[in-house]
Amino acid sequence: MTGQGATLRILERADKEIMKLSRSDRGAVWEFVSKFRTNRHNPGLQFKQLKGDPRLYSARVGTSHRALLLHAGDSDYLLVSVKHRKDVYEDLDRYEYQINRVTGGIEVFDLTPVGDSIVGRLLGTGDKPVEHVSQPALFAKVTDEDLLNLGVAEPLLPAIRRTRTEDELQAFMDEVPQLTAEVLLQIYSGATVDDVRQQVTAPVVAEDKVDPDDYLTAVNRPATPVTTDDEALQAMLDEPFARWQVYLHPTQRKLVERAYSGPTRVSGGPGTGKTIVALHRVAHLVNKLPAGTDRPILLTTFNRNLAADLRARLLTLGGEQVASRVDIVTIDKLAALVVREAGLGAGRRHIDDNRAAQEWRDMLFELDLPQWDPEFLNAEWGQVILGQVLTSRVDYFQARRVGRGRTLTRADRDQIWQLAERFTLRLEEKGVWTWRQIAAAAARAEMDRGEQRTSAGTNGHRYRHVVVDEAQDFNPAHWKMLRAMVAPASDDMFIVGDTHQRIYDNYASLGSLGINIRGRSSRLTRCYRTTCQILVVGLELLTGETYDDLDGGEDTLAGYRSLLRGPYAGSTTSTYPRSPRP
């Protein structure tokens, strides 16, 4: 940048302070940022270097606050804190900053809250000795070398060694860099050093060699969490809650910006930010598109409320410029559009699964076939025959039946196929069909469309990129339709979901449906929705439960963690007497 202007990035810790300010004070921050970027030596800013440290500066923010700034190099600065003017100059030695030797990111923290003040405050100040002073330090069994190799900030080691109780640790969590907090919390929860290295540290290790003195390079690494563009800053200042609805943690940025050689899946427990990752992935893909007015990106989810929420959040994240290049539609609405284009199902009404199950019951009663369970047949027809878009008895004989829970003989399959054909005809005569039938018809239509393109030597797929949210509730026919809508290529499909939150009995192995995610799967393990106290109890209740991973394997909540604090949680078990049979 030429002249007296500067690049100003807002560090995450400053974000949190700014959001606590009044609306008028946040407006003063916006005005300060604008002036600083234009001319940092504007006399009204009172920009000056602080004594005793060549990198720390302060500047005026409105009439009552000052900004604490870290000079990264050249004309590049980090806004690390916004404090009342009387607080900025108090004991500047308390501020510590460094380049983390593991992540390569810049960490800035205030040593005062994490030093003796926390321990002293929690232990009490009276003359009476406190019993737990004699308790062993929480991390006595972990060496300094291990802690540093896991990414713990070195200046915090003395305070860590003095930490003896969970209350002290939880108070500590609020003040230290996030990687340090996560490492300590996982070790305290019983994880081994190797577990922490794999689950917490490995995903954020710097990809290049870390120079502990090169702040200009460090400020551009994903591990330095900053806000840089004006739209994101304005959203944070005007609507802090809306900004946090699209907040992307630095550890997730690699997933968003990585180039993938094919379909990829991101899984994670509730509250880990899967939807936010999907939204940022969409914005990233849009930014790589050539200029135009078409919509080559599909963002799809399961129901209308979720689709409306995705649209609103995408507008918050990237504005109309991003949203206008994206089709945001529910998977069933998309299927309905496809069948309408193909001229299928004209005049037929939609019925839900409950009505379909009743039709099965009525048909079996009319045929006097009490040996067959109508709910089982309805699920077999919907999940296997329609779900896999099977068009012949031979196909059904060879079909995999993942998650169905009952083995069928060849004779069983033969009879089920005949009943399914009869049932399909029954619905057709009544002028109705189910959403699963629509999905299967759409998948067939889209696959036929692809074959026609191939025969004609054209490449007219509907989309260049497909991004899926809430993938756990899609049925196999949905996946076949989506696979046919986008050409197999780099960055073709980005899939996020959590089978622990599955609502509908839709089991699918993506690999068997032509969506090969092997080697391109990632898990999110940090929970932003609940406290660590509640999370610990919840995970204990789920011990022993197994879930599929959408690709024929098992998923797990191992390493799932939260840095949020709250009251201690507990669980109770109650028994209720059974009601007498009528």
Residue 275 counted as an annotated binding residue: yes
| Residues 231 and 317: beta-carbon distance below 8 Å | no
> What string of DSSP letters covers 385-451?
IITTT--SHHHHHH---TT--S---HHHHHHHHHHHHHHHHHHHHHTEEEHHHHHHHHHHHHHHHHH
Residue 175 pLDDT:
77
- H helix or E strand, kind and range, residue 90: none
Please indicate, yes or no, whether residues 385 and 335 belong to a single structural domain of this protein: no
Consult the annotation and say whether 318 binds a ligand: no
Does 197 score more than 80 pLDDT?
yes
Same structural domain, 311 and 369: no
Q: Decide the pairing of beta strands 76-84 and 7-11.
A: parallel
Residue 369 in domain: yes
355 within a domain of the structure (yes/no): yes
What per-residue string of b and e applies to 546-562 under the rule 16 or more CB within 10 Å gives b? ebbbbbeeebebebbbb
Question: Where is 10: in which H helix or E strand?
Answer: strand 7-11
- Alpha-helical runs (H) found in 39-109: 85-88
In whole angstroms, how large is the CA radius of gyration of the chain? 29
Q: Tell whether 122 and 142 lie within a shared domain.
A: yes
Report the distance separating Cα 317 and Cα 180, nearest Å: 29
Q: Residue 574: is it exposed, middle or buried by C-beta count within 10 angstroms (0-12/13-18/19+)? A: exposed
pLDDT at 110: 74
**What are φ and ψ of residue 265, in 5° steps?**
-125, 135
Alpha helices in 431-531 (DSSP H): 435-456, 476-485
Asked if residue 270 belongs to a known ligand binding site, the reply is yes
When pLDDT is cut at 50, 70 and 90, the band that residue 84 belongs to is confident
The per-residue pLDDT for range 463-498, each reduced to its tens digit, is 999 999 999 889 889 999 999 999 999 999 999 988
Question: Which residue has better confidence, 556 or 75?
Answer: 75
Angle formed by the axes of helices 166-173 and 116-123, to 10°?
140
Q: How far apart are CA 154 and CA 147, in angstroms?
A: 9
Mean pLDDT over 139-144 rounds to 95
Residue 97 forms part of a structural domain: no
| Per-residue pLDDT, 38 | 92
- Taking phi over 0 as left and psi of -120 to 50 as alpha, with beta for the rest, 253 belongs to alpha
| CA end-to-end distance (rounded Å), the chain | 83
Tokens of 535: 């999370």
Q: Are residues 374 and 327 in the same domain?
A: no
In a domain, 72, yes or no: no
250-288 confidence digits (pLDDT tens) = 678 888 999 999 999 998 877 788 999 999 999 999 999
Q: Poorest-confidence range of 71-80, 421-430, 443-452?
A: 443-452
Q: Per DSSP, which regions of 304-375 are E strands? A: 326-330, 349-351
Whether residues 531 and 482 fall in one domain: yes
Report the pLDDT averaged over residues 555-561: 57
Same domain, 474 and 558: yes
pLDDT 10s digits, 360-374:
999 999 999 999 999
When pLDDT is cut at 50, 70 and 90, the band that residue 509 belongs to is confident
Q: 494: closest CA among 250, 230, 274, 302?
A: 274
pLDDT at residue 379 is higher than 50: yes
Domain assignment present for 546:
yes
Q: What mean pLDDT is predicted for residues 193-220?
A: 91
- Tokens standing for residue 334: 């998309």
> Buried b vs exposed e over 340-362: b needs ≥16 C-beta within 10 Å?
eeeebbeebeebebeebbebbee
Q: What is the percentage of the chain residues whose pLDDT exceeds 70?
A: 78
Q: What is the pLDDT of residue 562?
A: 61
Tell me the pLDDT band of 578, cut-offs 50, 70 and 90: very low
One domain for residues 416 and 359 = yes
Q: Round the average pLDDT of the chain to a whole number and report it.
A: 82
Q: Is 364 in the same domain as 306? A: no
In a domain? residue 547: yes
Residues 358 and 332 in one domain: no
Task: Tell me the mean pLDDT in the region 345-352.
Answer: 88
Report which of residues 133 and 23 the model is more confident about: 23
Residue 39 has pLDDT above 50, yes or no: yes
Q: What is the pTM of this model?
A: 0.68
Residue-number span of the structural domain to which 496 is assigned: 245-339+439-445+463-562
Of 406, 430, 454, which residue constitutes the final position of a domain?
Answer: 430
Number of structural domains, the chain?
3
Tell whether 335 and 353 lie within a shared domain. Answer: no
**Residues in CB range of 6: below 8 A, 6 or more apart:** 36, 37, 40, 75, 76, 77
Strand (E) or helix (H) holding 300:
strand 297-301
Same domain, 305 and 389: no
Distance, in Å, from the CA atom of 316 to the CA atom of 234, rounded to the nearest integer, reads 11
Instruction: Tell whether 289 is covered by a domain.
Output: yes
pLDDT score of 130 more than 50 = no
470 and 398: one domain? no
Euclidean distance between CA atoms 462 and 356, whole angstroms: 31
Structure token digits, residue 269: 């427990």
CB 43 within 8 A of CB 110: no
What is the arithmetic mean of pLDDT over 78-105?
81
**pLDDT of 488:** 93
Mean pLDDT confidence for 396-417: 90
Are the C-beta atoms of 566 and 531 separated by less than 8 Å?
A: yes
Is 272 annotated to bind a ligand? Reply is yes
The pLDDT of residue 129 is 41
- Mean pLDDT computed over 525-533: 64
Q: Is the confidence at residue 340, as pLDDT, over 90?
A: yes
In the Cβ-directed half-sphere of 12, how many Cα atoms lie within 13 Å?
Answer: 19
Q: Is residue 458 part of a domain?
A: no
Longest dimension (CA), the chain: 92
- Distance separating alpha carbons of residues 304 and 7, to the nearest angstrom: 41
On whether the CB atoms of residues 188 and 166 are closer than 8 A, the answer is: yes
- Rounded to an integer, the average pLDDT of 166-172 is 79
How high is the pLDDT of residue 151?
96
Taking residues 310-331, what's their average pLDDT?
93
pLDDT of residue 168: 82
274 is in an annotated binding site: yes
Read off the pLDDT band of 540 (50, 70, 90). low
The edge-to-edge listing of strands for the beta sheet with 48-49 is 48-49, 56-61, 65-73, 76-84, 7-11, 226-227
| Residue 499 marked as a ligand binder | no
Which residues are within 8 A (CB) of 109 and not within 5 positions of it... i.e. 6 or more apart? 13, 95, 96, 97, 153, 155, 156, 175, 176, 177
**CATH code of the domain covering residue 307:** 3.40.50.300
